[in-house]
Structure 1
Amino acid sequence: MLELLSPLAAGVNLALVLLSVATSALSAAAGIGGGTLLIIAMAQVMPATALIPVHGMVQLGSNGGRAAMTWRHVRRDIVAAFLPGVIVGAVVAAWLLIRLPYGVLELCIAAFVLYSCWGPGLPQRAVGRTGTVIAGALTTLLSSFVGASGPMVASFIKLGMSERLPRVATFATCMTLQHTTKAFIFGFAGFVFRDWLGLMLAMVVAGFVGTWLGLRLLNRVTDHRFDFFFKWTLTLLALRLIWLGVARLLGLG
């Protein structure tokens, strides 16, 4: 039954469904991190052509569920300013989208993850209507090519609010808008979602379960401890992804 979910092996499909539970719980409890961890894990086992569109649809379901469960806490002013940028970024992405050489996508994702973990944060002046529109456009464009723009969106949202629950709710809503555009962008580019529909639906349902669990752990996770373990987990996975990307570029994998 599991082998019918996607072109991947049954065991891999099962692992990805279980990972969707864990990463959705992580995002709900800590406010960030699940989507990035999910895409870097998916990149180890999925073909590059399917990676970003499948990840985008799974994250659409996961973030959409989280936004629905926390809608009372959403900062609507931030979302309203973010939306025009999302539209602009999606239009530009649809125009630029091309088939990347085998191995390049893995290297791009790894580089982005390492920068998100260890690079400088956004300046305080990024907060404001103009900054929000620009952030929406740039992160949507980036998301269409490396998949996980969550750390940059979360860094931007964190500047404007200190309470974790409004941050989780607003982040989930902004990411829902961003991932919605991928259905149009990759459909326009010719990606056949039907071949991966079973896996996407199973991972979305699993994501709802993970979100429900994560929201109940929301106040039990300390920021310092989470940041330490999360950064090093992503760093190790990114280093493995660099090795995989280089091997594929050289025709060794």
Structure 2
Amino acid sequence: LLLVLPATVAFVVHGLLQLVSNGWRAYLQRQHLRWSIVGWYALGAAVAAVAVAAVSYVPSKPVTYLLLGLVPALVWLPKGLLRLDATRRSHALLAGLLTTAVNLVAGVAGPLLDVFFVRTQLGRHSVVATKAATQVLAHLAKVVVYGGPLLRAGESTIPYAVVLLAVPLSMLGTAVGGRLLDRLSDAGFRSATRWVVTAIGAVYLAQAARLAWGA
């Protein structure tokens, strides 16, 4: 999205698509949801959204790519270096605060959220369901914080037709992903998650370097 849209518009479009995708994922896996985590996360997310909105920060593309590329490194931190557990109230609150803030500034913060779940004793279905519910809140905040000013300014650069076309596709992909999740073990799920987000991060870092050096 950042390749074809201004950063602010890309954030809104990405937020809308992820809002639907994660909302559908949370609904499909609703029996595994850990609502206590979602509640404390929501409190931290609200604080972060208010703070970022007050600052009115609009990131440039190089900064955005750099942040997106660096965040995945967090999933490789040694166990003894960072003991975060989303099942603990204070950690769930911190997850909401940090993840939402990074999501609003960098556009995506999934790898950061993974750090709060990778050390828990939750099964893969509970991890996916609970993370999806928290990401509904994070992306809703992104849509409100960045979409509000666009609407007030009368901007019409949001490609609504593309969004409407992508929504059912994202829901279909989410449903298929749920079937694949059933086939994985908890250990396999965590290992696959680390490698996927790391690969994505490498792509973002390469793009950040290209923009910074004017290649």
**The two structures share one fold, judged by TM-score above 0.5:** yes
Q: How many correspondences in the alignment?
A: 210
Question: Using a 3 Å threshold, how does the CA distance of structure 1 residues 249 and 165 change in structure 2: closer, same or farther?
Answer: same
Matched, 1:214 2:187: no
Q: Given the alignment, which residue of 81, 91, 99 partners 1:131?
A: 91
Q: Residues of 2 paired with 1:112 and 1:43: CA distance?
A: 17
1:182 aligns to what? Answer: 142
Shift of 1:62: 0.3
TM-score when scaled to structure 2?
Answer: 0.82
Contact 2:85 2:120 in 1 (8 A): no
Q: Distance in 2 between matches of 1:89 and 1:124?
A: 19
Partner of 2:161: 198
Output one character per residue of 1:75-104: Cα deviation in whole Å (capped at 9) or x when no partner: 111111111111101111112232334422
- Aligned partner letter, 1:148: V
CA contact (8 A) 1:102 1:249 kept: no
CA distance, structure 2, for counterparts of residue 226 and residue 129 of structure 1: 24
Q: Paired residue for 1:119, among 77, 89, 92?
A: 77
How far did residue 55 of structure 1 move?
Answer: 1.5
Identity of aligned residues (%): 30
> Which stretch shows the higher mean deviation, 56-65 or 231-240?
231-240
Given that 2:25 and 2:132 are in contact with CA atoms closer than 8 Å, whether structure 1 keeps it comes out as yes
Partner of 2:37: 78
With normalisation by structure 1, the TM-score equals 0.71
Q: RMSD over aligned Cα, in angstroms?
A: 2.7
Gaps of 5+ in 1: 1-41
After superposition, the Cα gap between the structure-2 partners of 1:217 and 1:239, relative to the gap in structure 1 and judged at 3 Å, is: closer
Alpha-carbon deviations, 1:127-152, whole Å to 9, x = none? Answer: 42222112211110111011221222
How far the C-alpha of 1:116 sits from its partner, in A, is: 3.4
The 5-angstrom pairing of residues 9-88 of structure 1 reads 42-43=1-2, 46-88=5-47
Change (3 A) 1:126 1:162: closer
Paired position in structure 2 for 1:170: 130
Paired residue type of 1:164: R
Matches of 1:130 and 1:80, distance apart in 2:
11
User: How far apart, in 2, do the equivalents of 1:251 and 1:124 lie?
Assistant: 38
The aligned residue for residue 245 of structure 1 is 208
| Letter of the structure 1 residue corresponding to residue 74 of structure 2 | S
CA, structure 1 residues 102+170, in 2 after alignment: closer, same or farther (shift >3 Å)? closer
Say whether 1:150 aligns with 2:110: yes
